[in-house]
Structure 1
Amino acid sequence: MKAIETKLEGCFIIEPNIIGDNRGYFFESYNEKSLNEALGQDIHFVQDNQSLSSYGVIRGLHAQSGEYAQAKLVRVLKGEVLDVAVDFRPESPTFGQHITAILSAENRRQLYIPRGFLHGFVVVSEHAEFFYKCDNFYYKNAEIGVRYDDPTLAIDWTVPINDLILSEKDQVLPFLHEIKL
């Protein structure tokens, strides 16, 4: 596996080593020891989640706060998404900055998102199955989020606004400047 650090400290694109031949391909999608060595960290995932979404669905921007913060390792099993990670660490020099990455079943890339980041994605294919590992358990009362269209974040979701589909919860998330950190 190859870990490529992004402009946001601690956030990495993970590229697997793919072995292919006339029968198809094989790759190791997750190995705790290899990932920890590649990232120089000691991460232990405790929960897996999976979602299915159609074109234009935005899920995010979400995080868990305080002692319930989560690091995530995300990937796409079917289809393609534009994945977004936003640095939400108040003390970080890149606070409020974001990166995007195309994750697809075809490129098999993953994104490692450390604790203290908001995360979201938009489906850019007809459908997408999205899979992610978390290093902490979900706790509803620790949910936090920021609106996908926050002008200070200026995220280009690449999908026309009329095609976007959001949950009721995501439509009423606060703007970044409304959150007390």
Structure 2
Amino acid sequence: MRIAATAIPGAYQVTPEQLPDERGAFWEGMRADKLEKVLGEPFVPRQISYSVSRRNTLRGIHTVAVPPGQAKYVSCVRGALRDIIVDLRVGSPAFGRHHVCTLDAASGRALYIPEGVGHGFLALSDDTCICYVMSTVYEPGTQIDIDPFDPDLALPWDVTGEPLMSPKDRAAAGLARTLAAGVLPRWNEVRP
């Protein structure tokens, strides 16, 4: 598996080496030892969750307050999605910058997203399923939501038509308002 740094400090794109044969293919979806070698610390899964989305569903941008913080390892296990991560760590040299990639079941590509980095995606096909492997369990009241269409972020969703979104995501504040509220994690509070 190839682990490549993104423009967001501490975030990595992981591309497995597939072993195809006449039956199909095999690959390692995650190797903690290889990931931890790059991270310089353990990544211990505490919760695994899935979401299934119809085509043109947009979910995010979400992160978790620190504490408790939450690192994520995300992969697409069915269908395809445009994944966008945004550095929301106040004081980070990449604050407000984003990374875009396509995750799909065929490639097995995944993203490691460190604490304090926001995450969202647009489903590119019906019945798209994303898997989240998370470093902490869900704690109500700790999620931070950012408007995925905030003009200050100008994220390249390339959405066609009106996306399907939750009322919570539609009502999310922009980055400037969330920053002013003082709820975003600080660069020195999290490990990149």
**TM-score normalized by structure 2?**
0.90
Query: What residue is the counterpart of 1:61 in the other structure?
Result: 61
**SS of alignment partner, residue 154 of structure 1:** coil
User: Which residues in structure 2 correspond to 1:90-129 (within 5 Å)?
Assistant: 90-129=90-129
Q: 1:137-167 CA deviation, whole Å, 9 max, x = no partner? A: 111111111001000110011112x230100
Tell me if 1:164 matches 2:163. Answer: yes
Is the 1:2–1:38 Cα contact (8 Å) retained in structure 2? Answer: no
Q: Which moved more, 1:85-94 or 1:23-32?
A: 23-32
In 1, Cα distance between equivalents of 2:24 and 2:40:
32
The aligned length equals: 180
Which ranges in structure 2 are unaligned for 5 or more consecutive residues? 183-192
Q: 1:107-150 CA deviation, whole Å, 9 max, x = no partner? A: 11000100011111000123301101000111111111100100
Query: What residue is the counterpart of 1:40 in the other structure?
Result: 40
Is the 1:57–1:166 Cα contact (8 Å) retained in structure 2? Answer: yes
In 2, Cα distance between equivalents of 1:33 and 1:57:
34
Which ranges in structure 1 are unaligned for 5 or more consecutive residues? none
Q: Which moved more, 1:166-175 or 1:122-131?
A: 122-131
Query: What residue is the counterpart of 2:72 in the other structure?
Result: 72
**SS of alignment partner, residue 84 of structure 1:** strand
Which consecutive segments of 4 or more residues in structure 1 shift more than 2 A?
Answer: 38-41
Query: What residue is the counterpart of 2:3 in the other structure?
Result: 3
Percent identity between the two aligned chains: 32
Q: 1:2-23 CA deviation, whole Å, 9 max, x = no partner? A: 1010111111100112111111
**Distance apart, 1:38 and its partner CA:** 3.6
In 2, Cα distance between equivalents of 1:66 and 1:152:
23
Is the 1:3–1:39 Cα contact (8 Å) retained in structure 2? Answer: no
